[in-house]
Chains A and B, each alone.
Chain A
């Protein structure tokens, strides 16, 4: 295969990947960052389990609701929370700083501790496909 045809193939694949957009976890830059920090595999199924897990009656769904594509509601203040699913809310996951801020706050509130890199990568890769 010539260089040119490889380039064309790569271009075509990138195009269709981009067109598939939200369904492709790789479209979230922060996942690349987790990869660079040593996370070899993203386990979206594990991420799904974490999303629905409840520790001392606290879990993601308390505020975000069961379905990431739906609007959530802050359990205490009642303030609406925009959907976590990029398929309906593409504005999500555009800022690494924001992602990390909310992982820090919400993991501590929900689990009583910070999430590790693998957990964040798993949750994010599951949400990315929603």
Chain B
């Protein structure tokens, strides 16, 4: 729980439905339900026209085609106005040649920021920190990442998490540390002694009965 100006806000948790929103964006008014059936990355940045955020927006724009291939939409957010967002994304395109293809929420009322726990008063009482919410096609929160104001996000890791979650969903497996697509995956641990005995005979690559891997 986070307390902001006397209000106690319940933070979203993994495995729970993503908080519904209706927000003004650079692509018009959007609702969370507009994204139903697609995966969604909802990310916040501290402010428009700031250096680290600009590098991040360019990096998000660069991975946008890779996200589209995976059925993932992208939405940015800060507490700036929609006019500020429009001016900034136009400036980024003019100065760097990179077009920002995704909508950016203008959360002046902080309604969405507070619902998602994006304002951390220890970092800033007014700006959103660098949050990433990965929401699946059923609108369930599957991953939450928080980065401090001074550290830009790692796009490779965001793509890796998407690949890992979608691989898990498609194959009922888990993914080990530093997993990359094509690597062996972890077979879920057995629940009974009988299953454990069977497991080691099934031809998986096993360290022991509780840690077995297989190729997909």
Chain A partners chain B: no
Seen from chain B, the residues whose Cβ lies within 8 Å of a Cβ on chain A are none
